A and B are shown apart, each in its own frame.
Chain A
Amino acid sequence: MDLYLGLDLGTSAIKALLVDPEGRVRGVGSAEYPVHHPQPGYAEQDPNDWWAATVAAVRQAIGWAPAGSRVAGIGVAGQMHGAVLLGDDDLPVAPAIIWADGRSWRQVAEITERIGAAKLIDTAGRAVAAGFQAATIAWLQKERSSLWWRTRRVLSPKDELRRRLTGEIATDPGEASGTLLLDVRWRTWSPDLLKAVGVEEAKLPPLRPAVAPAGGLSVGSAVELGLPAGAPVVVGTGDAPAGLLGAGIVDPDTMLLSISTGAQVMVPATFVIPDPAGRSHTFCAALEPGTDRPGWYQMGATLVAGMALRWLRDEMLGQAGPDAYERMTTWAGEAPAGSRGLLFLPFMVGERSPHMDSRLRAAFLGLGAHHGRNEVVRAVMEGTVLACFDAFEVLREGGATPSRIVMAGGGARSPVWRQIVADVFGLPVHALATADQAAFGAAILAAAGIGGLDPVATARAWSSTGPPLPPTDRGSARYAELVPLYREATEATRSISHKLVDFAEPARGPIVPMRPSRRG
C-alpha cells in the first residue's frame, strides 16, 4: 500500500502522520524539542534538535504502518515567520530565531517607517511584528552584522527541514507570506519590501507551489529515517495554510475557528483585500489561485482563549485532575446564555485582532451576588468567543461571507463552547474530527504533488467533521444584545487598562513574561 507522510514542525514538537490513499491515518509519531530563551524576550531553537525529533517521530510512525506499505511521497509543514540562517555550505550558522522571539521590536517601527504602513500592509497582507523574518533580518543587520555577513541564505523552519531531507532550497507562497517579504497579490518576493529590510533576493529561497516536487530523500537522511533513498518530497507550506487544507476548508463558504491557547478565525479568499488598518492578515493559501481555488485566506487572531480557562482552572478555581475542563464546561452549561449579565473581556495579555493593542487588559464587568462559578466559567468562554466575533468582523469587511463554521482545537471538544460559537456567529458549527490537521494537510500536498490527486477534492474527501450544530433563537437573541455591550465595554475600559499597565509594569519591554501557576 502507498502511504503519504505528512510532517508538521511545530513550536514545541514535530508530528508525523502516515496517511493511506483513502485518507485514513496509518501511523502517528511525535517528538518534542525545547525553545531556548538565552535572554528575556529571545526565543531560539536548534535545527539539529528539529532533525533529531524528526527522526524519532518518523520512526515511530513507520512502526505503526501495515506490513508491505511504502512511503510514496512526503509533505512538510511547520511553524511560520521564523528565520534559519545558512552559511556558505548551506548549513546553519546560528540557532534559529523563531516567531516567538521579541528582540526585533525596534525594527518593526523602522521597517514600517521606511516603506510606509499603508504600502506595507497592502503589499505584505498585514503589519509587521517582532519575530517575523523581515524584522529579524533587519535586527541581524543592525545588531549582529558579522553574523549577517556570513549568512548566505535565510530559510523558514519547514524549508530548513526539507533542505535536511533532500538538500533542495525552496519555499512556497503560503510560507513566504509569513516572512513579510512577499507581495501577496503577485506571489513573488516584493522588491519594495526587500529594499526596506535591506536583503537581496539571492539570500531568499526560490518560490514554488506548495504541491511542487522538490527532490527526493538524500541517502544520508533516508538511512537515518528508515525510509528509501529518493522518496519524493513536495515543497509543502506553513502550518496555517496546511491546517486549513487538512481541515478540508477549501472554499470561501467555510470558516475555521480554532480555540486553543489563543484563537484564530480563518476564511479562504479568492481575491486579496488586506485590511488597511492591519487588524487582520491576508496570506497566500496552500492552493495556487484558479477556478474554485481560493489562493488566499484571511485570518484574525486573538491572544487569549483556552489560556483564560486554564487561568481560571489553576489560579481561581483550583480545579485539578484530567477531567477539570470537562467539569468546568459542564458548570458553564448550567448557566444561561449571557451568564446572567456577567461579561468577560479576555485581554489578559493585550489583544491582536482587531485591536492591535498590547496594553489592553482583561476585565469582568457586571458582577453581582447572583453570579456563581457557573456564570464565571461561562462568561470567560463567552468572552473569548465574542473576541473571535470581533476579529471576524474585520474579515467580513474584507469580503468574507462564510455560511458555516468548522471548529478545531481543544475548545471544539466542548459542546457548550460549540453552542456559544453557533449562537454568537449565528452559523451552524461542525466540530473537526481530523486531528493534527497541519501534518494531515502536508500529507494531502504530498498526495497531490506526487500521487497526482486533486488537492481540493482530496482535502474534502479526507477530512471529517461532526454534524452541524445550529444556532438557537434564544442564545442568538441574547448575544445580539451582548455584542454591542462587549464593544462598548472594551472602549470604556481601554484608558483604564493603559493606566493600570503603566502602574504595574512601568519598566517593561514589549515581552510579557509568563509566571508559573501560584497554586502549582
Chain B
Amino acid sequence: MSGELLLGVDIGTYSAKGVLCTPIGDIVASATIEHGLSLPRPGWAEHDADAVWWAGFVGLCRQLWAQGFRGDQVAGVGVSAIGACLLPVDDRGRPLRPGILYGIDTRASEEIAWLNARFGEEPMFELGGMALTSQAIGPKILWLRRHEPDIYGRTANLLAASSYLVLRLTGEHVMDQHTASYYNPLFDLRGLAWDERFAEPIVELGTLPPLRWPTEIVGELTAEASAATGLAVGTPVTAGTIDAAAEAISVGVVEPGDMMVMYGTTMFFIHVTRDPVPDARMWSTAFVLPGSYSIEGGMSTTGALTRWFRDTLGGSEVAAEAAGGPNAYAALADSAAAVPAGSEGLVCLPYFAGERTPINDPNARGVYAGLTLSHGLGHLYRASLEGTAYGVRHNLETMEQMGSTPKRLVAVGGGAKNPLWLQIVSDAAGLPQDVPETTIGASYGDAFLVGLATGLVPGLDALREWVKPASTFRPRAAERAVYDAYYPVYRELYESSKDQLHALARLGSAATG
C-alpha cells in the first residue's frame, strides 16, 4: 500500500459514481456512468450483477485512470450501492440470476402475507424492529425458494449489491450490519446478528454472509480484481453499505439526533439514534457507525410528483423552455412562490404511487381538495410541494411519537436545489434544515468510511473538514401558523377518503383502455 488517495464508489439505481479523495476530503477526480434498470414484469425490478454493478465499478476505475491517476495511488476502497437487495451466487461466487432490488420490487407480497400468517407480525417485529414490507429481503428469499427452486438449490451464498462488489474485489463474503437490517425477519436488531427463529422456511442461515461494519477493512484486493480494475493487489476494502447511509455520512449526519432528508425521486429519511427504536410505521436499522442505530423512512412520490406535474399540466412552461425561455421547473416554482402559504385553501395528498412511511399504504392515491376557479397552476404546484412537506411533517411527528425527535435536519438530493421547496418543508415541519452548498453524494461518504477504516482519517471529527459549508432554511412564524392549521386537514383528508382512493386504485389498474 503505497498510495494515500481514498476511492469511494457508489452504484445507484440509474448511475454509478466514483470519487478519489485526499485524507482531508479534497476531491481530486470523479467519474460517473449511467446504467439501466430492468423491469421485466409488473412489480419486478432488477439489475444484472456483472453488467451493472461490477462493470460499473470497473468502468469508473478506467475513467479515473484516464484522468491521469494510477491504481497504486489508492490507499483503500469503500463501496456502497442501492437499498438492500438480493443476489444468489454459486459456490464459485458466480451470479445465478439478476439481482432482485429493494422496495421498488414488490414481487414478494404473497410471501409477506404467508410469513405474517405463519409467525404473526408481532414476533417478527420484535426481532427485527420492522414490519415486513417490500423493503424486506426475507420474503424475497422465500420467493426465490418457491418460484425458482433450481436456482435456490444451487445457491451457495446470498449477497447484497455492495457485498457482491466486495466479493469481486477481495474474494470475501461479508455484509454490513446496516444492509443486514433489511434482511428481516432473519436479523436480530438488538443482538446485531443473524437469528434462526423464523429462518427455517426461508433459508439455511449458513448461506448468509458474516456480518461486519462499513468502518472495517474486510479484505484485500485479489490479483484477479487487480487485473480487471487497475487497482493494486492488496489494496484494503471496507465492508460497504447502502448508498443512502453513505450519503448521510457524506453530509455529516452521524450524531444521534441528526437526520438526513433526501429530496430525490422519492423522499428518504435517515435519523441517527443511540438505541434501536422499533415502530411498525417506520424502518429501524443498525447504522453504519458501530454502536449507533437509525430510524429510516421514505415517501413514494416526491420528485416524481413534480415531474408528473410538469409533464401533465406544465405544457406551456415546457413549450416556453423549448423556445429558449426559462426552465419549466423554475417557471412553475416562480408561479408557486407568488401564492401564499396554504395555497389559498388547497390541499394535496402526494400519494401518487401509494405511500410508504408512515401510512404504509400502497393503494393510496393522490388528491387535490379545496379547488375553486380562483386557483391557478401556481396554486396546484405549491399545493403539491406543500403536500410533500406535510408528508415530511407526518414522518417527523411519527418519530416524535416514538420518543426520538430529530434535532438537526440536513437536506440533500436534487430537490434540495429548490429553495422554495426547502422553505415550505421547514415552514410546514417547523424545523430548520441545513443545506450543504454542494453535495457529492454517497461515494464521498464511502471514501470517508475507508479513510476511517485505514486510519488515514483520524476520526469522526475530521468530518468538519470533509463536509462542505451549508446554508440554513429556518421556519418562519407566519407561514408556520398557516401550516399548523392546514396540517390536520391534510391528515383528515387521507383518513376520510382512503376507502374511495383504494377503490379508485383498483379501477385504475383494471382499466386498460
What residues of chain A have their CB less than 8 Å away from a CB belonging to chain B? 307, 311, 315-319, 336-338, 340-343, 348-349, 361-373, 376, 478, 481-482, 485, 488-489, 492-493, 495-497, 499-501, 503-505, 512, 514-515, 517-519
Contacts and interface: CB of A to CB of B under 8 A. Distances in A.
B377 A365 contact: no
B236 interface: no
Interface string B306-317: 001001110110
Contact of B374 (A366, A500, A515): A515
Given A363-B371, A365-B500, A366-B505, 18 more contacts: A338-B511, A348-B372, A363-B370, A364-B366, A364-B367, A365-B367, A366-B507, A367-B366, A368-B352, A368-B353, A481-B507, A496-B347, A496-B489, A496-B493, A503-B485, A504-B342, A514-B374, A518-B377
B504 interface: yes
Contacts of A317: 313, 315-316
A485 B508 contact: no
A499 B507 CA distance: 29
B276 interface: no
Contacts of A370: 508
B464 interface: no
Given A317-B315, A495-B496, A496-B493, A362 B504 contact: no
A315 B496 contact: no
Interface in B370-384: 370-378, 380
Most buried by A among B342, B368, B492, B501: B501
A336 B372 contact: no
B501 A340 contact: no
A366 B377 contact: no
Given A336-B512, A515-B374, A366 B342 contact: no
Contacts of A481: 503, 507
A343 B316 contact: no
Given A492-B496, A505-B345, A482 B507 contact: yes
A307 B365 CA distance: 26
B509 interface: yes
Nearest to B371: A362
B373 A501 contact: no
A340 B345 contact: no
A341 B504 contact: yes
A366 B312 contact: no
A349 B371 CA distance: 9
B499 interface: yes
B369 interface: yes
A363 B365 contact: no
25 contacts: A307-B373, A316-B380, A343-B500, A348-B373, A361-B371, A361-B372, A362-B372, A363-B368, A364-B366, A364-B368, A366-B366, A366-B507, A367-B365, A367-B367, A367-B368, A368-B366, A481-B507, A488-B499, A492-B497, A496-B369, A500-B369, A514-B373, A515-B373, A519-B376, A519-B377
Nearest to A334: B513
Q: Which 9 A-B pairs have the closest CB atoms?
A: A341-B508, A504-B345, A367-B366, A366-B504, A318-B316, A500-B370, A362-B371, A518-B376, A341-B507
A475 to B, nearest CB: 11
A503 B370 CA distance: 10
Nearest to B317: A318
A336 B368 CA distance: 21
Say what secondary structure dominates the interface of chain A: mixed
B346 interface: yes
B344 interface: yes
Contacts of B497: 365, 489, 492-493
Contacts of B493: 493, 496
Contacts of B345: 361, 500-501, 503-505
A369 to B, nearest CB: 5
Contacts of A512: 372-373
B376 A493 contact: no
A341 B367 contact: no
B492 A311 contact: no
B138 to A, nearest CB: 29
A331 to B, nearest CB: 11
B301 interface: yes
Contacts of A371: 308, 312
Contacts of B380: 316
Interface string B483-499: 00110010011001101
Given A348-B373, A364-B368, A336 B313 contact: no
A318 B335 CA distance: 14
Contacts of A517: 376
Contact of B365 (A316, A366, A372): A366
Nearest to A318: B316
B353 A348 contact: no
Contacts of A505: 345
B370 A338 contact: no
B304 interface: yes
Contact of A369 (B342, B353, B503): B353
Contacts of A311: 373
A307 B380 CA distance: 18
B506 interface: yes
Contacts of B489: 496, 499-500, 503
Contacts of B346: 500, 504
Contacts of A482: 507
Nearest to B342: A503
A315 B377 contact: yes
